[in-house]
Amino acid sequence: MDRRKYNEENALSFIDKINSIAPIYYVNGNHEGWSGKFESLEKSLKKKE
């Protein structure tokens, strides 16, 4: 993710595909904070738990 190229749908689709391969861990960083879209992404990720 970066603040200029944000595509939550693509990121979540990728997570769905790799979830069967190995456990997934997410750590947020500066890009999420700067994008102003972390809350939306966080909600979407929690739905996948």
pLDDT of 48 > 70? The answer is yes
The one-letter amino acid code at 49 reads E
Residue spans of the domains in the chain: they are 8-47
CA-CA-CA-CA torsion sign (36, 41, 31, 4): negative
DSSP string, 8-46: HHHHHHHHHHHTTTS-------HHHHHHT-HHHHHHHHH
Q: Which DSSP symbol is given to 5?
A: S
Stated pTM of the model: 0.66
Q: How confident is the model at residue 6 (pLDDT cuts 50, 70, 90)?
A: confident
pLDDT number for residue 29: 80
pLDDT number for residue 13: 93
The pLDDT tens digits for 9-39 are: 998 999 999 989 999 888 888 877 777 888 8
